[in-house]
Copies of this chain bind each other. A is one copy, B any other.
Amino acid sequence: MGEMAECYTELEKAVVILVENFYKYVSKHSLVKNKISKSGFRKMLQRELNHMLTDTGNRKAADKLIQNLDANHDGRISFDEYWTMIGGITSPMANLIRQQECQQEQQGQGSS
C-alpha cells in the first residue's frame, strides 16, 4: 500500500483489500471489462475464502450461491455482485465470528 493508504483506518484498509481481490480475479481477456467469470469466482472462493467457509460449516451456503451464479446467464460478476455475494456468505456467520472474538478476549483476560 502506498503513501495515501498509510493514513487509512483498519476498516479502509480492509475495504481496499476487498477491492484489490476483486481486480485480481477480473478476467483480462474478457469482452466485458471489470467483471469476474463464474469459473474465476469459484476459484476465488476456494483460494481466498476457504478457511472461513470450512471453519463455519458455511460451505453449503457458498455452494448454493455458486449454483445461483450458474443460473445467471449473464455469467459475469460485477463488483456490486461480488460485494453482495461475500456479504451473503459473511452475514450468517457474522455473529459466530464475533463470538469467537469474545471467547478469545475472555481467555486472554483469564478469570478476572
A window 1-23: CB within 8 A of B:
1-2, 4, 7-23
Contacts A83-B90, A87-B87: A10 and B16 contacting too (C-beta < 8 A)?
no
Q: CA–CA, A13 to B21, complex, Å?
A: 12
Determine if B12 and A21 form an interchain contact, defined as CB atoms under 8 angstroms apart: no
Determine if A80 and B91 form an interchain contact, defined as CB atoms under 8 angstroms apart: yes
Report the interface size class on chain A. Answer: 35 or more
A window 72-103: CB within 8 A of B:
79-80, 83-84, 86-87, 90-91, 94-95, 97-98, 100-101
Give A contacts to B, CB under 8 Å: 1-2, 4, 7-23, 34, 47-52, 55, 79-80, 83-84, 86-87, 90-91, 94-95, 97-98, 100-101, 104
User: Given A9-B48, A10-B21, A11-B48, list of 11 further CB < 8 A pairs?
Assistant: A2-B101, A4-B51, A4-B100, A8-B51, A9-B50, A10-B17, A10-B48, A15-B86, A79-B90, A80-B91, A84-B84
